[in-house]
A and B are shown apart, each in its own frame.
Chain A
Amino acid sequence: MNRALLGVMAVAAASLAAPAEAQFRWEPAGTLMSAGGGAPRAGAGRVDARVYAPGMRFPMEAGPAYANSQIYGPGGYMGPSGGQCDTRNYSYPWYDNYCESRSWDMPLCPSGQGHQGQDIRPATCTDSVHWVVAGAPGTVTNIGSYSVYVTGDDGRRYDYLHMNSRRLAVTRGQRVTRGQRLGLVSNDFGGTSTTIHLHFNIRMNVSGVGTVYAPTYMSLVESYQELVGPPAYRAQYVDQTFPLASAPFELAPGEVVTGHIDLRNTGSETWTSNTRLGTSNPRDATSPMQGSDWLGGHRVTGPDANTPPGEVGRFSFTVRAPDAPGDYPQFFNLVEEGVAWFSDSGGPADDLLQIRITTVAGRCPADIGADWTCEGAERVRCSGGAVEREACAGCAAGECDPGGPADADGDGHNTSVDCDDTDATIYPGAADMCGDGIDQNCDGVDACGVDAGARDAGPGSDAGPSADAGPTGGDASAMTPTGGLVVGGCSAGGTQGAAWAWFGVVCVGLSRRSRRRSR
């Protein structure tokens, strides 16, 4: 099957890519719900990928469960119309709602205020049927009107709110194990009620701040993945031969580099030829560095071999430095054609794997020397730091076969590149005399900037369109001095970098009066 057809197939398949409904998906930490229907945004989340309770068990006995907002989701006070049982509230992706807009002091929130924990809906919108379980072993240290606190041996406290207070499975002082039932998800809020959900907090003593409600989202994501099993499609970066983005990797225009990226299959499905490396961030954009072995402009390749879960898959391919000098960053991610992008399944994010090519003029690729060599029907050599190409009818041992373009003046350059095949002093790379109005080196201008067009123009001249077109349709641009720079690799930034980005703090407290001052 030819590559062009494969490319077309890839395009068609890409349009089918959509996440499976049952596949757990989650928005990155700090991404709050953005309610539709013109409702206000939910505020500024805390971008923090740390797991504050490593090894924690997911606090509901069974999945599925849905972390999102009770306020900004459908039926919520600030959300789109609907009811709390709206199916949209019971679907992926998850949303962080730590730091969601509230007027409550929260030192770790970007605004200094926000929601303390994470709201989690159980599998169905049914009261008192879904069990809440202990996220960590510990002691039940407090039971309030609508709260149960369990303190772990290390002093971390796990808060479970809004369970059915009449049917709790534990008592104060009771020792509980990880995963032990505590109560049923309900809507208790003391003398009133809330929506059916579990409000979950992690309370811990953070150095430099004191006891705070810590971000819970990534602890929940990690523990939920453990509960529901690995996602079908997930990859972990292992290695690559392309230089990392932080290291310069220079190539000439048109230079081709062969390499590979190794990724470990950390999902549950085997990677096959349907698992492909595609362009991402944005997805499916045609790449300027497409190599001749790619499946298409936005699909690179599949794994070299089928890759079962746990194994490392190698994706071998070439990249070609674009002709024009410049910087060409390109992100990639895996996609299971017709099923899901890996970033929608288990990761990595779309802006993590990167090859960044910067084309630099003025140098030749390492594999092109001063002597003519054949590249297909062309012959190429490095002349004066530039790649020189000549189109031939055929090429053998660096020589154009007879019958190829003529070299009437015998200067070693045929009519596909020689702008004056009647003058042996005029050919690409020749010394260009300044101001004589003659373009001796065939670069389109006289050395001092006098346009050679006046002399060269005309039917049959080198600059004329008919004369420029060689057997392969090459033109003067094919002889433009070339050089290149490629920088490639796994971006140090991307989602992970963004996840560690610092957040600003609005010093709302400055406008407040303390108790001492107000008295």
Chain B
Amino acid sequence: MVCWKWCVWSALLLTAVACEGAPEGSVSQPLGAVTPAPEVLGLSSQSRTALEGAPMARVLVLPERFAAESFVTSGPRWYAISWHEDGLTVSLHATDNVHAELSPQELERIVPAFEEVRGQPARTTLNEQIRAVTWTEDGVAFSLEVECYDAFTDRRCTDPFWALDLADELTEVRQ
């Protein structure tokens, strides 16, 4: 009996020690397969393979109308979708790797997020007319960016809601 308790406590202790050194948001559970949703079935086989390799539990994809021209890549701590057509480029970037760069005092001074997508607080910004929406779901940080050839006149880039609405349309495809 004593031995059994000792074993349990040792296991818990070892688990705690192991978890202490693990990066925030790291993968700890086996990943489920990607669902055969229309948004996925419309992808090229190369992109489907890359999507299966996305290393995080939460995987979002662009709506079905973007599937045929979507180009998916993935790496050890990220996956990305790139779509380009008709003077518009859409980029979705996701990573579960968190970089602890800021001190608590610095974080206290960060302006809170004022937007919301997919039920999460979201930030928007404009980088050289490239409109970006960022938010975090289940430890995965997403960034959706919209870039237009006619950067100053194309409504898809000048209207801040276009990117926000597109973010809300993203589909979760990991089972």
List residues of chain A with CB under 8 Å of any chain B CB: 50, 52, 104-108, 112, 116-117, 138-139, 141-147, 149, 151-157, 159, 161-162, 172-173, 189-192, 199, 201, 203-214, 502-505, 507-509, 512, 514-516
Contact = CB atoms under 8 A, between A and B. Distances in A.
Interface of B: 24, 46, 71, 73, 75-78, 80, 82, 84, 87, 89, 91, 93, 95-102, 105-107, 109-116, 123-130, 134-136, 141-143, 145, 147-152, 160-161, 164
A508 B125 CA distance: 13
Contacts of B78: 151, 155
B75 A507 contact: no
Contacts of B87: 145, 190-191
Contacts of B116: 514-516
A211 B134 contact: yes
A104 B127 contact: yes
What are the 4 A-B residue pairs with the smallest beta carbon separation, nearest first? Answer: A155-B95, A144-B89, A141-B80, A205-B141
28 contacts: A52-B99, A104-B125, A108-B110, A116-B125, A139-B73, A139-B80, A141-B80, A141-B93, A142-B82, A142-B91, A142-B93, A145-B148, A146-B151, A155-B78, A155-B95, A157-B93, A161-B128, A173-B46, A190-B129, A190-B147, A203-B93, A205-B96, A206-B98, A207-B99, A210-B134, A504-B109, A508-B111, A516-B115
A514 B160 CA distance: 11
A100 to B, nearest CB: 13
A189 B128 contact: yes
A515 B115 contact: yes
A357 B80 CA distance: 59
A142 B93 CA distance: 9
Given A208-B102, A509-B112, 19 more contacts: A104-B126, A117-B127, A141-B80, A142-B93, A144-B89, A146-B147, A153-B77, A155-B97, A161-B128, A172-B73, A189-B151, A190-B149, A192-B152, A204-B99, A206-B98, A208-B107, A211-B143, A505-B109, A508-B111
Contact of B151 (A191, A507, A512): A191
Contact of A143 (B84, B125, B161): B84
A170 B159 CA distance: 31
A63 B89 CA distance: 32
Contacts of A192: 151-152
Given A205-B141, A208-B102, A515-B116, A505 B111 contact: yes
B96 A155 contact: yes
Nearest to A203: B143
Contacts of B91: 141-142, 144, 149
B100 A191 contact: no
Contacts of B135: 210
B82 to A, nearest CB: 4
Contact of B89 (A142, A189, A214): A142
B102 A206 contact: yes
A214 B101 contact: yes
Given A155-B95, A210-B135, A503 B109 contact: yes
A205 B142 CA distance: 9
Contacts of B95: 155, 205, 211
A509 B109 CA distance: 13
